[in-house]
Homo-oligomer: A and B are copies of this chain.
Amino acid sequence: MELKDFLWSLIIIYICARVMGELAVRIGQSAVLGELLAGVLIGGSLLGWVEETETLKLLGQIGVMLLLFEIGLESDLRSFLKVGLSAALVAAIGVVVPFVLGYGLALALHLPQLQAIFIGATLTATSVAISARGLFDLGKLRTREGNIILGAAVLDDILGLVTLSAIIGLATAGTVSWLEAGRTAGLALLLLSVAIAVGIRYSHLFSRLVNRMNTRGALVIAALSFALLFGYVAELMRIAALVGAFAAGLVLARTEHQTHIAAAIKPVADVFVPIFFVLIGAAVDLHHFNPFNEQNWPVLLLAGGLTLAALVGKLVAGLGVTGAQANRWVIGVGMLPRGEVGLIFASMGLTHRVLDEAQYGAILFVVVFTTFISPILLKRAFKGS
């Protein structure tokens, strides 16, 4: 990629994301919805102005890590632990029910076993990024509901590790090693807990180091490196890098520099984050969903059924909340978006040739629909609560 093309892509992404984000806010919607639509608009299926290159994708990944790092930085670990049981139950229901519904529907439509499992698995995903950003846009991150949704979405990412390694095993070897998958996830959860505990215990060393540095930009680079390092370790453990960045934020939230780090990281996040959401939007190929094309009808029918399963499966997850201090409807809605996690699952099915183009298209519809509807419903749900 030449510098000229790269600059042009960035300019287009920033201008469109900003304009659409502003418009979304003007009509009372979440800014992230505007950024996603900006992606659809300038992506391959409409204007075709921006192509997903390796560099843009990596920058988007940094963006979503910074988003979660910021959220961790502004969070209080104790309020997460307080809702831990609820979050765990929400995550568990939100994985089991969509899987059963999707799997059952696929079998009812006479799809083979392997495809049915894959379809069910894809419905279990929750996009931490979209959930978190939707909550942020509404200023509801620090509510009890916000904590449960975020906690459950992070746990979902770790459960997704089980699911993903299981279905990849299915797709390649034809068998599932549940033991292996479970062990990987357990180890990941353990290491993550240890990293947070150790991090908090020694976070004063971070502060001392930063205080000793004299050159410009010490704080922002130290904080960023810390987030990247946690993300790197998470990747090594095969959890998503953004979960690691979130943990890094939780750790640094306990240091004396918390407010300064948040202030310095904010413009950096503003530069990277929109790239992520625009690319998610740009990955949507609208041609699959054109109802005037007869060939799309089977896709759309399957998509309709799966969407219903996907909605019901996550909405009932809200019932996992223990006690009565949280709005269960808000939580169900907040868990809806499949986002980038759903996209990864679906594309894994396509590349391993478990799903055909039509099934892939149908799942894509579910991912897109739940991703776009969640910020809209979330706003309404909070109004009603």
**Chain A 48-89 interface 0/1 with B at a Cβ cutoff of 8 Å (1 = within):** 000000110011010000000000000000000000000000
* Chain B residues within 8 Å of A217, by CB: 266-267, 269-271
Q: Which of B22, B58, B215, B271 meets A3, CB within 8 Å?
A: B58
- Chain B residues with CB under 8 Å of A146's CB are none
Stretch from A97-105, A230-238, A277-285 contacting the other chain: A230-238
Whether A271 pairs with B221 at a CB distance below 8 angstroms is yes
Could you say which residues of chain B place their CB within 8 Å of the CB of A224?
Answer: 14, 271
**Chain B contacts of A232 at CB under 8 A?**
4, 7-8, 11
Name A223-259 residues within 8 Å CB distance of B: 224-225, 228-229, 231-232, 235-236, 241
Given contacts A55-B54, A61-B3, whether A215 and B267 have CB atoms under 8 Å apart is no
The number of residues on chain A lying at the interface, defined by a beta carbon within 8 Å of a beta carbon of chain B, is 47
Query: Which A194-238 residues have a C-beta within 8 angstroms of B?
Result: 213-218, 220-222, 224-225, 228-229, 231-232, 235-236
A18 within 8 A of B: yes
Contacts of A264 in B (CB 8 A): 267
| Residues of chain B lying within 8 A (CB to CB) of residue A216 | 31, 270
How far, in whole Å, are A105 and B8 apart by their CA atoms in the complex? 43
A-B contact pairs, 22 of them (CB 8 A): A3-B235, A4-B235, A4-B241, A7-B229, A7-B231, A10-B228, A11-B228, A11-B232, A14-B221, A14-B225, A15-B225, A18-B213, A18-B225, A22-B214, A22-B215, A25-B214, A25-B215, A55-B55, A217-B267, A217-B270, A221-B271, A268-B268
* Beyond known contacts A22-B213, A54-B54: 6 more, CB 8 A cutoff: A4-B236, A4-B241, A7-B241, A18-B213, A220-B270, A264-B267
A225 neighbours in B (Cβ, 8 Å): 10-11, 14-15, 18
Once the chains bind, are A267 and B220 in contact (CB under 8 Å)? yes
A61 (CB) vs chain B CBs: closest residue: B3
